[in-house]
């Protein structure tokens, strides 16, 4: 036995999440966003599972991520690089048949001047003000598209997709439709996971879900189980405290278990005195501060099971990813991508 925390990644759940999204948008292609090493779960394994499920369009953030995915899934699928091309990396796009997502005038120039023959996307900003070409570029780029620089995809990104009635979401849809009109016959894409839940108006030709594939959005199957081992167990008396800064003081006698898991593994310090772990079906609160390699839970409710070597669930069917993220004041995305290199990843197929 090792004390190392273990993450089990259920690849059939990834596939079933993809199939569910695909069934919801029958008229559209369902792609997959696998950036940040497949949201921390392993881009190679996750992409292989999605390819086997039928996915043929993938999105990464960087070219080097795309190269790893290309090696895993072969030459057929299209792989878009969301953060786009830079001159020094142009050869990577040709060598590995990668598709740039062009989001700045500099990237457009880089791609057009380099005469890259790979398919490429144009990404327009419809109000998020993060990354996307300004609407003022639409007419020049639609002229270029009608000549020799025809994109394979025109896209934009929603800022408030979690909220269907948000006026911004409705405004972005309208603005995207107006842009789309300038690119007749070219496939369009607007929806991330949240956009996929907004219904057929948002699906266009291709959707780009990420977090919903990995179980971090509503109505998804659980993909990730994170378990940690109990290292030691001890009793405390009223008035005693636990951990750095003595941030939790006990009012009553309690039994504590120290886990071999800390912020270096991705258990953020914001779990301190907020998150829970599950022992024998009982939620056991984190007490005191999470430290680098250790964290302490109050196992009074499951005292008979609290033994060195026993496993507790920190993420999984019972320790729900979205609920844990919310307790820790963050989002499912950050919890998954924070899982450290020390956490052993095992795959269930």
Does 113 participate in catalysis according to the annotation? no
C-beta neighbour count of 304 within 10 angstroms:
8
Secondary element (H or E) of residue 267: none
Q: Which of 5, 85, 187, 209 binds ligand PLP (CB under 6 A)?
A: 209
151 is a site residue for ligand PLP (CB under 6 A): no
In angstroms, the CA 293 to CA 276 distance is 17
Q: To the nearest whole angstrom, how small is the minimum distance from the Cβ of residue 85 to ligand PLP?
A: 15
Q: To the nearest whole angstrom, how small is the minimum distance from the Cβ of residue 169 to ligand PLP?
A: 14
Site string (179-198) toward ligand PLP, x via CB under 6 A = -------------xxx----
Q: Give exposure, 225-262, as e/b (b: 16+ Cβ within 10 Å).
A: bbbbbbbeeeebeeeeebbeeeebebeeebbbbbbbbb
Residue with CB nearest ligand PLP? 210
3-state secondary structure of 297: strand
Does 244 participate in catalysis according to the annotation? yes
Question: Restricting to residues 10-39, which ones interact with ligand PLP according to CB under 6 A?
Answer: 33, 35
Identity of the residue, 187 or 210, whose beta carbon is nearer to ligand PLP in the bound complex: 210
Choosing from 39, 244, 307, 347, the catalytic residue is: 244
Sequence-distant (6+) residues with CB within 8 A of 202 are 158, 161, 173, 190, 191, 195, 196
Stretch that binds ligand PLP, among 113-121, 141-149, 208-216, 323-331 (CB under 6 A): 208-216
**Cα distances (angstroms) measured from residue 342 to each of 8, 53, 258, 262, 268:** 14, 29, 18, 11, 14
Choosing from 3, 35, 62, 93, the catalytic residue is: 35
Sequence-distant (6+) residues with CB within 8 A of 237 are 250, 253
211 is a site residue for ligand PLP (CB under 6 A): yes
DSSP code string of 181-221 = TTSTTS-EE---HHHHTT-GGGT-SEE---GGGGT-SSS--
Stretch that binds ligand PLP, among 69-77, 136-144, 204-212, 264-272 (CB under 6 A): 204-212
Identity of the residue, 33 or 291, whose beta carbon is nearer to ligand PLP in the bound complex: 33
327 is a site residue for ligand PLP (CB under 6 A): no
Identity of the residue, 212 or 302, whose beta carbon is nearer to ligand PLP in the bound complex: 212
Residues recognised as catalytic? 35, 244
């Amino acid at each position: 036995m090792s004390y190392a925390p273990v993450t089990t990644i259920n690849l059939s759940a990834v596939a079933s999440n993809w199939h569910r999204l695909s069934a919801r948008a029958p008229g559209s292609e369902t792609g997959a966003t696998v950036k940040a090493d497949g949201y921390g779960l392993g881009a190679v394994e996750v992409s292989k599972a999605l390819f086997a499920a039928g996915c043929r369009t993938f999105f990464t953030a960087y070219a080097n991520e795309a190269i790893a995915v290309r090696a895993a899934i072969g030459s057929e699928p299209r792989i878009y690089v969301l953060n786009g091309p830079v001159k020094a990396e142009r050869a990577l796009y040709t060598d590995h048949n990668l598709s740039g997502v062009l989001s700045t005038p500099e990237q457009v120039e880089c791609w057009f001047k380099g005469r890259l023959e790979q398919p490429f996307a144009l990404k327009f900003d419809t109000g998020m003000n993060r990354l996307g070409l300004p609407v003022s570029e639409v007419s020049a780029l639609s002229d270029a598209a009608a000549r020799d620089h025809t994109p394979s995809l025109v896209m934009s990104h929603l800022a408030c997709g979690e909220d269907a009635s948000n006026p911004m979401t409705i405004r972005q849809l309208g603005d995207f439709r107006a842009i789309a009109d300038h690119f007749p016959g070219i496939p369009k894409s607007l929806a991330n996971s949240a956009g996929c839940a907004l219904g057929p108006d948002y699906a266009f030709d291709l959707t780009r879900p990420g977090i919903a594939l990995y179980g971090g959005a509503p109505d998804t199957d659980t993909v990730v189980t994170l378990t940690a081992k109990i290292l030691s167990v001890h009793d405390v008396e009223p008035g005693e405290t636990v951990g750095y800064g003595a941030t939790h003081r006990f009012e009553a006698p309690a039994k504590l278990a120290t886990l071999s898991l800390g912020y270096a593994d991705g258990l953020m310090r914001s779990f301190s005195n907020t998150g829970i772990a599950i022992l024998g079906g009982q939620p056991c609160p984190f007490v005191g501060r999470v430290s680098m390699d250790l964290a302490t839970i109050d196992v009074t409710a499951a005292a008979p099971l609290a033994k060195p070597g026993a496993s507790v669930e920190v993420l999984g069917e019972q320790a729900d990813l979205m609920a844990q993220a919310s307790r820790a004041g963050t989002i499912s995305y950050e919890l998954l991508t924070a899982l450290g290199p020390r956490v052993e990843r095992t795959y269930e197929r």
